[in-house]
Amino acid sequence: MKFIENGSVTSPKGFSASGVHCGIRKNQSKKDLALIFCEKRCTAAAMYTKNLVKGAPLTVTKNNISDGYAQAVICNSGNANTCNADGVEKAEITCAAVAKKLGISEKDVIIGSTGVIGQPINIDAILSGIDPLVDSLSDDGNAAAEGIMTTDTVKKSFAVELELNGKPVKIGGIAKGSGMINPNMATMLCFVTTDAAICSELLHEALVYAVEKSLNMVNIDGDTSTNDMMTIMASGLAENECITEKNEDYFVFAEALAALAIEIAKAVAKDGEGATKLIIARVYGCQTDECARSLALSVVSSSLVKAAMFGADANWGRVLCALGYAGQDIDVTKIDVSFVSDAGRVEVCKNGAGIPFSEELAKQVLVCDEITIDINMNDGMEYAEAYGCDLTYDYVKINGDYRT
Amino acid sequence: MKFIENGSVTSPKGFSASGVHCGIRKNQSKKDLALIFCEKRCTAAAMYTKNLVKGAPLTVTKNNISDGYAQAVICNSGNANTCNADGVEKAEITCAAVAKKLGISEKDVIIGSTGVIGQPINIDAILSGIDPLVDSLSDDGNAAAEGIMTTDTVKKSFAVELELNGKPVKIGGIAKGSGMINPNMATMLCFVTTDAAICSELLHEALVYAVEKSLNMVNIDGDTSTNDMMTIMASGLAENECITEKNEDYFVFAEALAALAIEIAKAVAKDGEGATKLIIARVYGCQTDECARSLALSVVSSSLVKAAMFGADANWGRVLCALGYAGQDIDVTKIDVSFVSDAGRVEVCKNGAGIPFSEELAKQVLVCDEITIDINMNDGMEYAEAYGCDLTYDYVKINGDYRT
């Protein structure tokens, strides 16, 4: 398995994509509508936010792919189409319009929306964008990746290549962050394509496996969005033997999908609202997987750890504090903590107590833009990683006046 | 029951207090050691942080008041005495020294510490402070209230007066905020005194009742401290008939204690690190008390709601989002939301969907320094209030480089 340079949702066979400005956003230089299309009907699967307040597009998508198939994804940014009385109706009108133009069934359209909650969505703008959107479909995934961005500062677009029984297979994905992001429920918006041949049921299982290891281990601000969704469409055009049981091909595919999803998770965390750095909490030596996951998430979620990382302050006491309130049964006296980055490694806590360390080295380690907090619980064999970012002035700035 | 102007821990009969600078903090103008003393041995009770990483002072306090009695509180700021190998030993040395000087048993001393975690505490500074601390005991509680402050910008000191069966009784309290504060576990540091006569068991029950309604409904930053503790000492010098059963006197006392604790909770929330305003989430119409509490806490805990309040942005979609992920079984289509302050009331959401409102009025309401988010779930009779603050640039500034 390897990553494809400049890979995207159009890397797998059969897929094209596009993105345009249709007028939902005031800024005309920002694309606000994206399309992914496959020349062939795909098996499909999705995971949705567990927030009980759900965007209308999720309701419509869930209904449309209940048969396990889809052929296109349409997604707008700038408005979440959530908490509006006519939201479902407008989402259905959008699906019907794009399906008509593409010549496919409206029940084979996945629809997403992201942006402000509770403001009526401008359906006229969307409908006016569908012709240019379909007409500009190409094998370049960049415009679509841009069309789904909200406060993201960089587009998230990746693809991997693997082999299934000798046949080359590709998986590509685009995603948007970068606020209202909290794991353990679902994920941000992320649309994945593949040319693998795989049945809907196992596609869903592989998706769940990948999300648990990746997007569900990200926390930017503790707020679980109303519109989070991750979808995958598999065209089968790689012509591998169709995966219909949990054979070796299935596990190779699921691992590759997880690797892609972890890369997307890191990109989303690193581009968290206002973030200047990626924080990885790597927790070793736990008795259970659940314990390791919970501890890792607690550390990347702590506002105080996040603020300390912004200030490049080796305040490891806050790491122990976050481990202590994670709700796991832990032995504090066994915990070792180090900070690690490209600049080196500095051990700061051994057996739950502070040890002398070079503040100078710590500073060098912590000014880097990717920091791993290495935590050994010395209490078992299980391991987990969680992804977050620092808490900065800009997070407050971005969210202090988001609507205007 | 009424609040006493400039009331403090010295308002109830028998109590004196003091605060000095002993040298734990570098800034000589900041007091860092506080003492509360009662001329008579008191019944006592305490609640502690549920963080598994616990400060050494909590271990020593728990041991000392296991018999239900105490006579003094000593507390330093500037160092948490947590995650240090010799923490318990140093806390015990401190208790012994202050007890000797006061002529009481070292087992009747409550000890607290607050500040940075994982740095050895300067025991020489503390010991040097004990003589001046005891020598300056007076009926003025202000110095003690200052001695326990960390990043607090104002001291928190309150007292109430009530009557128990014709006898005047007072309850006073001091507290410190203002970071690492999250409810559902325990609380910040808060020391309460009363001259009521009440047995230790019912004193503990009344404390639990009051904390559930007040300090456990506060969230500043989601981080539950390692050193949180609330203690209460009752001297009995009011000469009311000693409360030893749940009679009317008990409930009058418990309600008064809760009222005092709610006032302290609001003061702590309003002075949250970097905060410019107090946010109260008032949730009506729930089927259960647990549901109402959980929803109210979810709203005041949301980084996005907090940032919107900082920006005086009526972004009610974030309120609905926070209600949706609280883990409660709610009917989104029944929810009404209004923002309320001294400037008026603006209704923004009815039956789970946006309604037209004056952005101008909303701005006027939201620029005030105390904002209530009024939420009616229209689904039952239960009610709860939670207390938080806005998320500001200064929170990041304060916590980006706390140690240096």
Task: Report the pLDDT value the prediction gives residue A175, as an integer from 0 to 100.
Answer: 84
- Going by pLDDT thresholds of 50, 70 and 90, the confidence category of residue A183 is very low
Give the nearest chain A residue to B186 (CA atoms). Answer: A325
Residue A322 has pLDDT above 80, yes or no: yes
Q: Determine the distance in angstroms separating the CA of B79 from the nearest CA of chain A, rounded to an integer.
A: 11
Task: Report the pLDDT value the prediction gives residue A340, as an integer from 0 to 100.
Answer: 97
Residue A279 has pLDDT above 90, yes or no: yes
Residue A170 has pLDDT above 50, yes or no: yes
Task: Report the pLDDT value the prediction gives residue B179, as an integer from 0 to 100.
Answer: 59
CA–CA gap between residue A113 and residue A188 (Å, rounded): 11
- pLDDT one-digit tens code per residue, B331-361: 989 999 999 999 999 999 999 988 999 999 9
Name the nearest CA neighbour of A295 among A329, A341, A336, A263.
A329
Lowest mean pLDDT among A3-7, A193-197, A217-221: A217-221
Residue B175 has pLDDT above 70, yes or no: yes
CA–CA gap between residue B385 and residue B289 (Å, rounded): 11
Q: Determine the distance in angstroms separating the CA of A227 from the nearest CA of chain B, rounded to an integer.
A: 10
Q: Which residues are registered as beta bridge partners of B232?
A: B45, B192
Residue in B86, B119, B291, B321 to test binding to A, most A beta-carbons within 10 Å: B321
* Catalytic residue (one of B94, B151, B187, B226): B187
- Going by pLDDT thresholds of 50, 70 and 90, the confidence category of residue B379 is very high
CA–CA gap between residue A289 and residue A301 (Å, rounded): 18
Q: Indicate the residue of A321, A324, A392 with minimum beta-carbon distance to B396.
A: A392
Distance, C-alpha B174 to centroid of its chain = 9
- pLDDT one-digit tens code per residue, A106-159: 999 999 998 888 889 999 999 999 999 999 999 999 999 999 887 788 888 999
CA–CA gap between residue A176 and residue A9 (Å, rounded): 13
Cα–Cα distances in Å, from B210 out to A10, B194, B230, B281?
A: 60, 14, 11, 18
Cβ distance A349 to A373 under 8 Å? no
Scan residues 8-47 of B and list those with Cβ closer than 8 Å to A: none
Task: Report the pLDDT value the prediction gives residue A204, as an integer from 0 to 100.
Answer: 93
A53 and chain B in contact, CB less than 8 A: yes
* Catalytic residue (one of A43, A49, A150, A187): A187
Active-site annotation holds for A43 = no
Percent of chain B with pLDDT over 70: 95
What mean pLDDT value characterizes chain B?
Answer: 89
Task: Report the pLDDT value the prediction gives residue A50, as an integer from 0 to 100.
Answer: 78
> At a CB cut-off of 8 Å and minimum separation 6, what does A192 contact?
A9, A171, A172, A173, A207, A230, A231, A232, A233, A257, A260, A261
Task: Report the pLDDT value the prediction gives residue B187, as an integer from 0 to 100.
Answer: 39
Tell me how many degrees the CA angle A23-A26-A29 measures, rounded to the nearest 5. Answer: 80
Q: What average pLDDT does the segment B203-210 reach? A: 91
DSSP of B127-188, one letter per residue? HHHHHHHHHT-BS--HHHHHHT-SS-SS-EEEEEEEEETTEEEEEEEEEE--SS--TTT--S
Task: Report the pLDDT value the prediction gives residue A4, as an integer from 0 to 100.
Answer: 93
Residue A219 has pLDDT above 80, yes or no: no
Report strand pairing: A189-194 vs A229-234. parallel
Lowest mean pLDDT among A55-69, B188-202, B204-218: B204-218
Cβ distance A242 to A357 under 8 Å? no
Give the nearest chain A residue to B401 (CA atoms). Answer: A311
Where would I find the H helices in B199-324?
A: 200-213, 248-270, 289-301, 303-310, 316-324
DSSP of A281-316, one letter per residue? EEEEEESSHHHHHHHHHHHHH-HHHHHHHHTT---H
Q: Which residue has the higher pLDDT, B4 or A396?
A: B4
Asked if A354 lies within 8 A of B84 by C-beta distance, the reply is: yes
Scan residues 233-292 of A and list those with Cβ closer than 8 Å to B: none
Residue A187 has pLDDT above 50, yes or no: no
Helical (H) or strand (E) element with A194: strand A189-194
Residue A181 has pLDDT above 60, yes or no: no
pTM of the model: 0.78
Q: Which residue has the higher pLDDT, B243 or B230?
A: B243
Asked if A317 lies within 8 A of B82 by C-beta distance, the reply is: yes
- pLDDT one-digit tens code per residue, A290-313: 999 999 999 998 888 998 999 999
Residue B398 has pLDDT above 90, yes or no: no
Q: What average pLDDT does the segment B226-251 reach? A: 90
Scan residues 91-130 of B and list those with Cβ closer than 8 Å to A: 116-120
- pLDDT one-digit tens code per residue, B273-299: 788 999 999 999 999 999 999 999 899
Report strand pairing: B167-176 vs B156-164. antiparallel
Asked if A83 lies within 8 A of B354 by C-beta distance, the reply is: yes
Asked if B53 lies within 8 A of A301 by C-beta distance, the reply is: no
Task: Report the pLDDT value the prediction gives residue A224, as an integer from 0 to 100.
Answer: 67
- Going by pLDDT thresholds of 50, 70 and 90, the confidence category of residue B185 is very low
B396 and chain A in contact, CB less than 8 A: yes
Residue B272 has pLDDT above 90, yes or no: no
Sequence length of chain A is 404
A392 and chain B in contact, CB less than 8 A: yes
Residue B225 has pLDDT above 80, yes or no: no
A323 and chain B in contact, CB less than 8 A: yes
Task: Report the pLDDT value the prediction gives residue B402, as an integer from 0 to 100.
Answer: 52
Q: What average pLDDT does the segment B174-179 reach? A: 76
What mean pLDDT value characterizes chain A?
Answer: 89
B318 and chain A in contact, CB less than 8 A: yes
Q: What is the ipTM of this complex?
A: 0.74
Give the nearest chain B residue to A84 (CA atoms). Answer: B353
Task: Report the pLDDT value the prediction gives residue B186, as an integer from 0 to 100.
Answer: 32
Task: Report the pLDDT value the prediction gives residue A402, as an integer from 0 to 100.
Answer: 52
> At a CB cut-off of 8 Å and minimum separation 6, what does B31 contact?
B19, B20, B21, B77, B143, B146, B147, B149
Cα–Cα distances in Å, from B303 out to A119, B184, B276?
A: 21, 18, 15
Q: What average pLDDT does the segment B62-82 reach? A: 93
Task: Report the pLDDT value the prediction gives residue B220, as an integer from 0 to 100.
Answer: 66
Percent of chain A with pLDDT over 70: 95
Asked if B400 lies within 8 A of A222 by C-beta distance, the reply is: no
Q: Using a CB-CB distance cutoff of 8 angstroms, which residues of chain A are in contact with residue B354? A: 83-84, 118-120
Asked if A310 lies within 8 A of B396 by C-beta distance, the reply is: yes
- Going by pLDDT thresholds of 50, 70 and 90, the confidence category of residue B403 is low
Task: Report the pLDDT value the prediction gives residue A223, as an integer from 0 to 100.
Answer: 66
Asked if B52 lies within 8 A of A325 by C-beta distance, the reply is: yes
CA–CA gap between residue A161 and residue B281 (Å, rounded): 50
How is residue A268 annotated by DSSP?
H
